[in-house]
A and B are shown apart, each in its own frame.
Chain A
């Protein structure tokens, strides 16, 4: 199936201090589909989203979104570019000093000169899409985690962006909220024809909605393809990850001496 590529990442290198986070990473994100990026914690998945969004500059490589290299954008270009990105953070990142309504209206006020009436209509529409129109006057402190995430989602789609990025959307959610979120992601994808990137380590949920999966480890892609294909993949690493096996290429035991020597060491002379 020929891929209409929306984002192309070529040979990405990025280090934080002495740690190499990305070591020649390359991937392509197809347009209008849901792409999942998975991998163990700490592999820099969130950092990848930040690089795509232009918040972080990589040491080397190119990140080309719809034909433009993000890493070489000027401030003004980045500002325009960000109109077309919506990001859902792990902690929902709602502005605590603003009401739900004001939070969703925020990107509209920043990027447009729309009159108050139009803003009001848009905000209510977006809130309605996530089912929280009635909560518009509440403040983030009064929302449950799941509700906060939905408001954050409404805010992310406020400008009808072409690209939506989700950072660990399933972490710490109860089954009902999870179901709601999954449904929203899918329906938004269909309704708005956005390109979606979901970063997660929840295999089950991510596999259920993603059209394509990438598995990252040690700064490189170690597996890519449709979820079913990956499940049948032969590489032991991918296997351990997809099936959640406790032991495999990622070992169970933290490196230590042989058990016998450790225990015997207690017995003194």
Chain B
């Protein structure tokens, strides 16, 4: 029994230690003035993290938008309220699905890629040799990825939302025959810039911070063993997903908690 408590205690201290390390990593990487050539590094990371994620984001967005519109339409038509499809779709996407699904997809695609890259660099001593040449790997490798993640994810969320809404529109209007005027006006009348879009975007930024942070830290903390990189990337995806979903719950409560 004592051993169990001891184990939990040590585990907790370890976690705290990791969190501390991760925070130091974060702060160190983001401090320091940008230098010439940093923009090129950042651009390259935006490409790898953002541009290359577009395919999966767009495809998923279209499917999800279409499916949700379909399901909403079916349920709403039971009450004769089909014109609310546009409204319901927009609300659900902007407030929840946009930020959350984008974050999950991002963690799986870009997050794991970041972890694997950094992990590989660590294992093959590239980070060490960089240091030996007087280049701070935190500045050259970690910081561009952190900034790129912070920038790309909200943009990807916006793109996700737009594509999903249009996907839903295609299904609702062109396939199921819902009235396009009602689709859009219902949406426009009720969706609010700050309450729905704004708060959703804030969620997205928070998720971006969390996912990128986890991805970078796991890469940096990779064990130099054969399974090391595989373990780290798995950890990135799992931890990111859990954190995103848990945070979403808390954020939703906090932002929309007044359910009266």
Contacts and interface: CB of A to CB of B under 8 A. Distances in A.
Interface of A: 50, 53, 55, 78-79, 82-83, 85, 87, 89-91, 93-96, 106-107, 109-111, 152
B135 interface: yes
A89 B124 CA distance: 9
6 contacts: A79-B134, A87-B129, A95-B130, A96-B120, A106-B133, A110-B134
Contact of B132 (A85, A94, A95, A109): A85
Given A87-B129, A93-B125, A96-B120, 5 more contacts: A78-B134, A79-B134, A87-B132, A94-B126, A95-B130
A89 B128 contact: yes
Interface residues of B, number: 14
B131 interface: yes
Contacts of B133: 82, 106-107, 110-111
Closest 4 CB pairs of A and B: A82-B134, A93-B129, A93-B125, A79-B134
A110 B121 CA distance: 19
A84 B112 CA distance: 37
A96 B124 contact: yes
B132 A91 contact: no
A43 B182 CA distance: 76
Contacts of A55: 128, 131-132
B135 to A, nearest CB: 5
B132 A53 contact: yes
Nearest to B134: A82
A57 B128 CA distance: 14
A152 B132 CA distance: 13
B249 to A, nearest CB: 38
Contacts of B121: 96
Nearest to A80: B134
Contacts of B129: 87, 89, 93, 152
B134 A91 contact: no
B131 A91 contact: no
